Amino acid sequence: MAARAEALPAPKARRWAAPGLVVGLSTLYLSVIVLLPLAALAWHAHGWDAIATRQAVAALELTLTVSLVVALVNAFAGTAIAWALVRDRFVGQNFLNALVDLPFALPTIVAGLVLLTLYRDLAFTRWAILVALLFVTFPFVVRTVQPVLLELDTEMEDAAVSLGASSFATFRRVILPNVLPAILSGVALAFARAIGEFGAVVLISGNLPFKTEVLSVYIFGRIESGDPGGAAAASVAILGISFAVLLAIGGLRRLATRHDR
Amino acid sequence: MTGRYAIRFAALGYIGGLLLAPLSYVFYKTFRHGFWPAWHAVTTPDALHALKVTLILAGIAVPANTIFGVMAALAIVRYRFPGAGVFNAVVDLPLALSPVVVGLALLLLYGRGGWLGGHGVAFALPGMVLATIFVSLPFVVREVVPVLREIGTEQEQAASTLGANAWQTFWRVTWPAIRWATAYGVVLTTARALGEFGAVSVISGRLAGQTESLTLYVQDRYQSFDEVGAYASAVVLALIAVTTLLLMTALKPKEETR
């Protein structure tokens, strides 16, 4: 009762102090941890000729191409696996469902090491980079599509089937329009992750300039050889791509929520 | 019906080849010569020190990001403030940023000639802590935000009309609703913090026995052609990953059926 009596005349000032404190502290934290280092990065980005070198351009090209392929494969494989996990019933499904998150839980360097020994024939080729990136980006599309499929009523599909639609037509006309925003959003996340991945790629790719050197490894090489300015310039390029992808995700999310309501 | 089976087996094959085979292979490769060689490899002073460094990194980054995560989620969902959109985007930024870039940014800020250089942050534990906090920052926020949106403000308003102050409202009404989402976020944060490689690789300087975390130790052993050491420490990390997976699975249904 005493506490209640104390709380009753809660002054307006104190009630307003909480939002200020929460917003202020978290903004401060975010600024010190994230924004300040990135500002330093932008400040020190010079030696723009470092990103105009043929080696850097080759690394950027390779990174973009492989990431696009990774995004595409994930769009199909991720959707199929989400479908199998939600609509299908088979023994070991729960185990499989838990396994999907493995790439989020397993350190990327461990993934790289294991894939390197397991797929030894692919080592130091572009295929190796593809496999490593497919591993680390695996959960994104599955985990964005799965909840949407779960919420999607099977009634519409049943109706389509009863009206004589083939299973492919049902998928294309009924399921796909509903899950497409989720697929795109997952694909964008996977693409962004593939662009920046380092740990899984560094061992398996062999890092041969012009052949298997991706942009993050190129940046690492610039740092190691004492050219932080050039590394920063290449980083700003990669940052621009990442930010564009983030904006795209934001747009897709808005699109998806508008779809809902 | 054949379509269903085709998708099922394609999905199983893909998961098997891409996820299950590597996971089982790392255990096979480590324990091929029995348990003790692997045990000795992970109990060398350098390996134990690397494990200690990793635990310190996670031990600081996870609590810091948990407190921040809940506050940031409250800020995003409950309060209107100028720059909220930017705030939201910056929270997601670490997810889309290459770890190498994160490490470089910290190096340029705290390294030689940086704005805050010369305080023993770069090439030392504080820099590694900052890198780990950076990369594992978004997870709690992203898990808590949707739950906060979904529960709405009615109960919180009721509590505050009945005379509860902001603190009481949070602990008695808001927290019980978001604690499972927070726990799930904590598990994701921990996994990311323990497994971080690229950012700490750049900022730490990789001094064996000093600034080497367990992930860096794996690479170090591999590049010194010490396969047993590399795989044994990889198994330690894989075991942590499997534990994380189990925790994630245990926490997820609660979050979904709320």
The alpha-carbon gap from A43 to the nearest alpha carbon of chain B, in Å, equals: 9
User: pLDDT tens-digit profile of A140-159?
Assistant: 999 999 989 988 888 888 88
**Best residue in A109, A154, A243 to probe B by mutation, most B CBs within 10 Å?**
A109
Q: Which two tokens stand for residue A131?
A: 């496999």
**B9 and B96 part of one domain:** no
B22, B68, B248 member nearest A115 (Cβ): B22
Count of domains observed in chain B: 2
* In chain B, % of residues over pLDDT 70: 97
**B18 and B51 part of one domain:** no
State the ipTM, two decimals. 0.89
Predicted pLDDT at B206 = 86
B79/A19 CB distance under 8 A: yes
**B190 and B209 part of one domain:** yes
Domain boundaries, chain A: 49-260
A107/B197 CB distance under 8 A: yes
Q: Does the domain spanning A49-260 belong to CATH 3.30.70.141? A: no
**B170 and B237 part of one domain:** yes
**B13 and B50 part of one domain:** no
Give chain A's mean pLDDT. 85
**B145 and B23 part of one domain:** no
Domain of residue B47, residue span: 38-256
**B134 and B252 part of one domain:** yes
Predicted pLDDT at A6 = 46
B202/A220 CB distance under 8 A: yes
Predicted pLDDT at B258 = 37
**pLDDT above 50 for B255:** no
**B2 and B117 part of one domain:** no
Q: What is the pTM of this model?
A: 0.89
